[in-house]
Structures are given as structure tokens and as C-alpha cells.
Amino acid sequence: MTIAETQNNTQTLIDLSKPPAEGIVRVTFLPEGRTVEFEFGTMPYDHHGKPMSFLDVAENYGIFLDHACGGACACTTCHLWIKEGAKGLSEADDEELDRMETAADVQLNSRLGCQAVITKPGSYVVEIPRWNRNYVSEGKPLDLSEEKQGV
Ligand code: FES
């Protein structure tokens, strides 16, 4: 059992070793390990990124996911790695693919958090890259040259 958050931001115990109940979306944001659950189709749009995008979910639950352009597919600060649930997401369109070409540390599972839309109930796990996590913890982006030196 672990603590997860339901739609009204109340905390509840959820057994993450079991899949979410029918009709439920479960999203875990790594490395923070915050998990939220809500009924598919009921989450209000928070006006950041596409409705039901990971950015929309993060904004609904007060989880920090940088979004310098406001979710307009005009930057790459919302870059995420999809660890689980890729088959339940919208396909990346040409605009997202073009934008991703300018992102740092792109992997096969990279998506823009403001563009990747959850299309069905199920379990989703995303990881915020290290340089964005550092932004959260220190209020500024990580200097990647420092990272290479092990600083
Ligand atoms: S917030 Fe700028 S591309 Fe997603």
C-alpha cells in the first residue's frame, strides 16, 4: 500500500501492486513518486497543454512540471520519459515530433508532457528528467557540464 491522491486532493491508501480499478486513470510522476488517481473523463481541464495531457494532470494536482510556453508545444521544458502506459497515449503529431528534435536527452520513450494525452483508463508512469528535477529542487536548471564532472 502507498499513499496516492484522489481527484479532490485528499490522500488515500492505494495498493499500487494491483492495477487501477475499471474506468480509473492512475498516473505516477517519478522520481517524486507521487501517484494520483481519477475516473477517466471526469478531470476538469486546467487550461495548460492539451486536455488530459500529463501537464493537465500535473496542474490539476499541484505537481510541478515545468511548462515555459504554457503548454503550446513551443518549448521542451515539459519533456517526460514514458515508463509505463505508452499504448494508452495519443500519437505524437508532427508539431510535437518537430519540437522534440530540439529537446535535450531525447530517448525512444520521450514525449512532451503538454502534448501526450491519456486516451483511456489504466496505469501510467512518467519520469521527469534529472535536469528538470533539479530545476524544481534548486530553482534553476542543472548545468549539464557540472553533471558530467560528477558535481
Ligand atoms: S510546455 Fe512548452 S512544449 Fe510543453
Tens-digit pLDDT profile for residues 69-88: 999 999 999 999 999 999 99
Beta strands in 23-73 (DSSP E): 24-30, 34-39
**In ligand 1, which atom is closest to the CA atom of 70?**
1
- The pLDDT assigned to 139 comes to 47
Residues 2, 16 contacting (CB under 8 angstroms): yes
Pocket of ligand 1 (CB under 6 A): 67-69, 71, 73-78, 99, 112-114
**In ligand 1, which atom is closest to the CA atom of 48?**
1
If one counts the domains in the chain, the total is 1
For residue 146, pLDDT beyond 50:
no
Distance, CA of 8 to chain centre: 19
Mean pLDDT for the chain overall: 85
User: Which residues are CB-neighbours of 144 under 8 A, at least 6 positions away?
Assistant: 104, 131
Decide which of 50 and 142 is more confident: 50
DSSP secondary structure of 44-79: PP-SSSSTTBHHHHHHHHT-----TTSSSSS-STTE
Here the CATH number for the domain that contains residue 50 is 3.10.20.30
> Residue 146: what are its φ and ψ, rounded to 5°?
-65, -40
- The pLDDT assigned to 7 comes to 55
Mean per-residue pLDDT, 120-128:
97
Residue 132 confidence class, pLDDT cut points 50, 70, 90: low
Mutate which of 54, 57, 64, 67 for ligand 1 pocket (most atoms within 8 A of beta carbon)? 67
Residue 149 confidence class, pLDDT cut points 50, 70, 90: very low
pTM given for the model: 0.83
Domain limits for position 29: 2-148
Q: How far is the CA of 114 from the centre of ligand 1 (A)?
A: 6
**In ligand 1, which atom is closest to the CA atom of 99?**
3
